[in-house]
Amino acid sequence: MLQEKYQQLQAIFKEMDRTLIAYSGGVDSALIAKVAQDVLGDRALAITAISPSLLPEELVEAEEQAASMGISHEIVETQEMENPNYTSNPINRCYFCKSELHDTLKPLAMERGYPYVVDGVNADDLRDYRPGIQAAKERGVRSPLAEVGFSKLEVRELSKQLGLAWWDKPAQPCLSSRFPYGEEITLEKLQRVGRAEIYLRKLGYRNLRVRSEGETARIELPAEKIQEFIMNTDLSQVVKAFHGYGFSYVTLDLEGYRSGKLNQVLGSLAIPVVEAVD
């Protein structure tokens, strides 16, 4: 079944002939970039968008991965932080982020002679609350993984089979996802969350989030890692470091890390959806 899906994925790129990939460096878009490069060679171009919501370390990894795959790779800047519809952090914040991304990529693709822009959305993403997917669809972006029906697990399995060293790389959505809906996003807040997560990564933790709510940092680690963290970490040093980043309070989420946790309150929120206007 996986090999059949792989062949279908290859067939999609053969039909496209030339394509531009919205490439974040995550396992999904990296698999798309790998298959596109294998099928199309120099007729595939990976573009990574940078903004304050992307960790510098993530850009470095994206560049290293692209180089190892041999795909042409370029960087563009996006300006979502200049859009109050984004920084006010409504529940459809991601719509405005992806609108900015693809309003940047689509003209570039047209200018360079790439008739298609593709992203790394997989079939599992379609079952989650992802308003950014709507923005991409409105701009004609294709999602080959979703079209073929690749689950996240299958993306990782195929990546492993193809020899991609990052097949088990943890998901790393933009830093804006660390804030509860309705709390304004600022450059300073993004930077302190980013620095805090880098600090914990250097302690050896890969799957984690530092959720920011007001002046409080809430550390999320996998449930099975919580006791290890408490027993083996100098907590006073963690608190000192986080205070240095600008947080007043530091807490540990005893429920443990779960991707998309902030979405669990969507049904009870009174935060309005910001309407997109032309």
pLDDT per position as a tens digit, 129-140: 899 999 999 999
| pLDDT for the residue 172 | 86
Burial class (CB in 10 A: 0-12, 13-18, 19+), 54: buried
Q: What is the pLDDT of residues 141-175, one digit of tens each?
A: 999 999 999 999 999 999 999 999 999 999 888 99
Domain ranges of the chain: 2-161, 175-258
> Quick one: tokens of 235?
């907590």
Dist. CA 220–CA 206, nearest whole Å: 11
Dist. CA 107–CA 18, nearest whole Å: 15
| pLDDT for the residue 39 | 98
CB atoms within 10 A of CB 171: 12
Regarding predicted confidence, which is higher, 142 or 258? 142
Please determine, for residue 277, whether its predicted confidence score (pLDDT) is greater than 50.
no
Q: What is the pLDDT of residues 43-76, one digit of tens each?
A: 999 999 999 999 888 999 999 999 999 999 999 9
Dist. CA 237–CA 274, nearest whole Å: 41
Label residue 260 by pLDDT band (50, 70, 90).
low
Helices and strands counted in the chain (H then E): 11, 7
Phi, psi for residue 120 in degrees, rounded to 5: -105, 20
Q: Which residues contact 19 (CB under 8 A, 6 or more apart)?
A: 13, 36, 40, 43, 44, 45, 114, 115, 116, 117, 118
> Quick one: tokens of 64?
């290293």
Same fold, 2-161 and 175-258: no
| pLDDT for the residue 173 | 87
CATH class held by domain 175-258: alpha beta
Q: What is the DSSP string of 139-190?
A: TT-B-HHHHHT--HHHHHHHHHHTT-TTTTPPP---GGGGS-TTSPP-HHHH
Please determine, for residue 34, whether its predicted confidence score (pLDDT) is greater than 80.
yes
Identify the weakest region by mean pLDDT among 142-151, 226-235, 253-262: 253-262
Q: What is the pLDDT of residues 88-122, one digit of tens each?
A: 999 999 999 999 999 999 999 999 999 999 999 99
User: pLDDT > 70: what percent of the chain?
Assistant: 93
Q: Which residues contact 200 (CB under 8 A, 6 or more apart)?
A: 208, 210, 219, 238
Residue among 31, 266, 258 at smallest CA distance from 146: 31
In the predicted model, what is the mean pLDDT of residues 79-83?
A: 96
What is the pTM for the complete model shown? 0.90
> Quick one: tokens of 266?
């969507």
Q: What is the pLDDT of residues 188-215, one digit of tens each?
A: 999 999 999 999 999 999 999 999 999 9
Please determine, for residue 252, whether its predicted confidence score (pLDDT) is greater than 60.
yes
Angle at 49 between CA 97 and CA 119, to 5 degrees: 75
CB atoms within 10 A of CB 137: 14
| pLDDT for the residue 273 | 58
> Quick one: tokens of 89?
């952090």
> Quick one: tokens of 105?
């990529």
The yes or no reply on domain 2-161 and CATH 3.40.50.620 is yes
